[in-house]
Amino acid sequence: MPTVIRAATVDDTGLVLDFIRQLADYEKMTAEVVADEASLRAQLFPETGAPAAESVLAFDGETPVGFALYFYNFSTFLARRGLYLEDLFVRPEFRGAGHGKALLLHLARKAHAEGCGRMEWSVLDWNTPSIEFYQRLGAKMMNEWTACRLDQAALARLADEA
């Protein structure tokens, strides 16, 4: 049965959060998940303004098997927006059936149709199965780049500097 992909709706907020928690468990980062349904709903489905991110869900028949969460960024070099894939997760018992590829292809088609200059994402360096999967699809590993992050505490500290 082919994978069915559809946009998440406000009624899917709990399901998206469940997938986020499953992903965090897989990545051994469960303690870092502070999102709850209310905070996630406010960001994905705000009452006013544009959403901070969007999500699509993958189904095997009627069974939800995975999700992807993405947002748009911008390349100054290309002078075009890009699609940034924040998270992609398929439940372990459904891996190898093409659901992850279906999610990635769905977003690649969306990025192309919307004129994005590129699609990017990060992968943990120990996640060999995902790295190999992405390389098979033609993704280039950007080994010359190092990710940088300011967490909330660092942002608060810098905001207080004159």
Catalytic residue IDs: 134
Give the sign of the dihedral formed by CA 140, CA 145, CA 146, CA 151. negative
- Tokens 């748009």 correspond to what residue? 72
Query: How many CA atoms, within 13 angstroms, populate the side-chain half-sphere of residue 55?
Result: 26
Please tell me the distance from the alpha carbon of residue 144 to that of residue 141, in angstroms, as a whole number. Answer: 9
Please tell me the distance from the alpha carbon of residue 69 to that of residue 55, in angstroms, as a whole number. Answer: 4
DSSP, collapsed to helix, strand or coil, labels residue 140 as coil
